[in-house]
Structure 1
Amino acid sequence: MSQFAQATLYGLLQGGLLALIAVGFSLVWGVMNVVNLAHGSFVLIGAYLAFELNGSLGLDPFLAMVPVAVVLFGVGYLLQRHLINLVVKAPIFITLLLTFGLDLLLVNGLIWIFSADYRSVPTGYAGRSLALFADVRLPVGRLLAAVVALAVTIGLVLVMRHTRTGLAILATGMDRGAARLMGIRAAHVYALTFGVAAALAGAAGAAVATVGTFSPADAGRFTLFSFVAAVLGGLGNMYGALVGGLVLGLVEAWGGQLLPGTLVNAVAFAVLVVVLVIRPQGIAGRAFYASRVEV
């Protein structure tokens, strides 16, 4: 029983980290209808930036989330405004090719600069754990990552619902033509959306660097987890990304107790298929694209 409780606790904490990775991916897909295959690369860039800030300045990786997010926001804004925006109205296959090519460029750039070796950011507290009950322990590093994920998700929802910029992003995602008629600059809003998503990915990367190891080879894995969590929760729904991440973390933790490691991802995808059959819009989503109007 204690082993199951430990797996459940670990799955919830891991799910919080996956949610922080997935929320930006879900936002871009829901607002821009762009499946960003380079999202995992942004996570890794954030991890490497946190690694460098820790090595050169001794900055704690959780504190490094702020400068890392600022840098990634600028990178994301410029990439979308001057590259991705050129094909944002094209068929989704074109945007897939573009973001896939961008992912290859970024991953190989990281290999060239940092090599393919696995790295991590050691801290004095991330490896510690708190005893709860019946031999169940609470990892401090993953607890902090999960708390940050929850706080960022709630903060993003508040920004989207209660600020002019957030409402402009939501309005542009629902009906770009009508948003233009209301004076909203769609190109700027799309760039802001992509910049926010890149900033969230960078912050998630700093957390990843604290609680585990990373290398350029992990880019595809992070993108895949983002895709599954976003679809599970519901596209464009920030709370949905949180729910999807938690479900994915629990499924992987429970599956790891019963199945070999190579089959855990298969179980996660089986859950995704079941959810899509029962509720195509996702666990916390709604039928967004059915009423979406593009002009």
Structure 2
Amino acid sequence: MLLLQVILNGIVLGSLYACIAVGFSLVWGVLNVINLMHGSFIVLGSYLAWGAYNGLGMAPWTTLLFAAPLGFAFGYAIQRGVLNRVIAAPVLVTLTLTFGLDLMLNNAMLVGFRADYRRLILEPALGSLSVGGLVVPVDRLVATGFALVLTLALYLVLRQSKAGRAIVAVRMDRDAARLMGVDVPSTYATAFGLGAAMAACAGVLLAMIFPISPIASGSYLGKAFVVCVLGGLGSVPGAVVGGLFLGMVESFGSLAFGPEHAVTLSFSLLILFLIFRPQGLMGKRGYE
């Protein structure tokens, strides 16, 4: 029974990791931009959920209806107004630019919200669900369900919509896509906006479980980075597989070594994959 409980915990944690990482993976895989603002986007989504609940009494899952379009608009504007000016520059330039923008955004949150940890406490509490001896908090179960739905929705958008097919085409061959009439700058902005929207939605879901603070952005960014390396860049299924794999490793690792070693396990995996399988579990060798 303990083994099943650990597996269940790994699935729940891994689903949240996948939702955290899928937007980061999309931007990195399509634009070749390592978006260091991603963790701050997640924290902004958490503050949006906290403010909507405490100020308007709006449930977190309802806040998703506003977090997604607001995150998309914010990301779209940043890409079209700032990043698009250096999109063809070496990756170090865009890395430095997103690092600077993240410093500005994170410090703005520190000024506005301070570094204090806040909690979104639902009243009445959702409690826990027990089935056959397995116990899972209902808030984590709800967050996991919405995380999987959002990830599936992004996958369907990329596969079924015109904008999604343009993003996939640009990822495969930017020059060929341009010759076929695809507006590459607009497609880049759309991809970045989708990544920001997923980050904001992930933040809303995480607010139901974890404390909220601007200083948590680095932790979320680190998890997204590890999941992308594990699963492979630019792939929604890769982010899901990478997230579940990391969730399982941390869950079993916490049982064996203690939860305080979760970060050590994550980055040990990162180093091993970079050495022995840099393309990730579902990536392709030689993809840039």
TM-score, length-normalised on structure 1? 0.93
Is 1:67 aligned to 2:43, yes or no?
no
Is 1:249 aligned to 2:247, yes or no?
yes
More off after superposition, 152-161 vs 198-207: 152-161
The 3-state SS of whatever aligns with 1:138 is strand
Whole-Å separation in 1 of the counterparts to 2:110 and 2:123: 28
* Cα shift readout 1:164-206 (whole Å, capped 9, x = no counterpart): 1111011111211111111111110000001010000000000
Letter in 2 for 1:287: R
The 3-state SS of whatever aligns with 2:88 is coil
Q: Which residue of 2 aligns with 1:179?
A: 177
Aligned positions, number: 288
Letter in 1 for 2:201: A
Letter in 1 for 2:48: L
1:99-178 to structure 2, matched below 5 A, reads 99-124=98-123, 127-134=126-133, 136-178=134-176
Q: Which residue of 1 aligns with 2:271?
A: 273
Q: Is the 2:71–2:196 contact (alpha carbons within 8 Å) kept by the matching residues of 1?
A: yes
Whole-Å separation in 1 of the counterparts to 2:17 and 2:187: 26
Identity among equivalent positions (%) equals 44
Q: Is the 1:46–1:69 contact (alpha carbons within 8 Å) kept by the matching residues of 2?
A: no
Per the TM alignment, residue 124 of structure 1 is displaced from its structure 2 partner at its CA by 3.9
The 3-state SS of whatever aligns with 2:215 is helix
Whole-Å separation in 2 of the counterparts to 1:256 and 1:208: 20
* Cα shift readout 1:210-244 (whole Å, capped 9, x = no counterpart): 11212010001101100000111110000111111
Is 1:219 aligned to 2:217, yes or no?
yes
Letter in 2 for 1:264: A
Q: Is the 1:126–1:211 contact (alpha carbons within 8 Å) kept by the matching residues of 2?
A: no
* Cα shift readout 1:222-267 (whole Å, capped 9, x = no counterpart): 0110000011111000011111111111111221122244432122
Whole-Å separation in 2 of the counterparts to 1:99 and 1:288: 25
Q: Is the 1:126–1:142 contact (alpha carbons within 8 Å) kept by the matching residues of 2?
A: no
The 3-state SS of whatever aligns with 2:15 is helix
Letter in 2 for 1:193: A
Is 1:54 aligned to 2:49, yes or no?
no
- Distance 1:132-1:275 versus aligned 2 partners, 3 A rule: farther
Q: RMSD of the alignment, in Å?
A: 1.6
Whole-Å separation in 1 of the counterparts to 2:246 and 2:181: 40
Q: Is the 1:128–1:139 contact (alpha carbons within 8 Å) kept by the matching residues of 2?
A: yes
Letter in 2 for 1:255: G
The 3-state SS of whatever aligns with 1:289 is coil
Is 1:22 aligned to 2:57, yes or no?
no
The 3-state SS of whatever aligns with 2:285 is coil
Letter in 2 for 1:62: W
Q: Is the 1:85–1:187 contact (alpha carbons within 8 Å) kept by the matching residues of 2?
A: yes
Whole-Å separation in 1 of the counterparts to 2:53 and 2:212: 15
Whole-Å separation in 2 of the counterparts to 1:168 and 1:125: 45
Whole-Å separation in 2 of the counterparts to 1:121 and 1:147: 19
The 3-state SS of whatever aligns with 1:166 is helix
Per the TM alignment, residue 40 of structure 1 is displaced from its structure 2 partner at its CA by 0.2
- Extract unaligned runs of 5+ from structure 2: none
Q: Which residue of 2 aligns with 1:205?
A: 203
Runs of 4+ in 1 over 6 A off after TM superposition: none
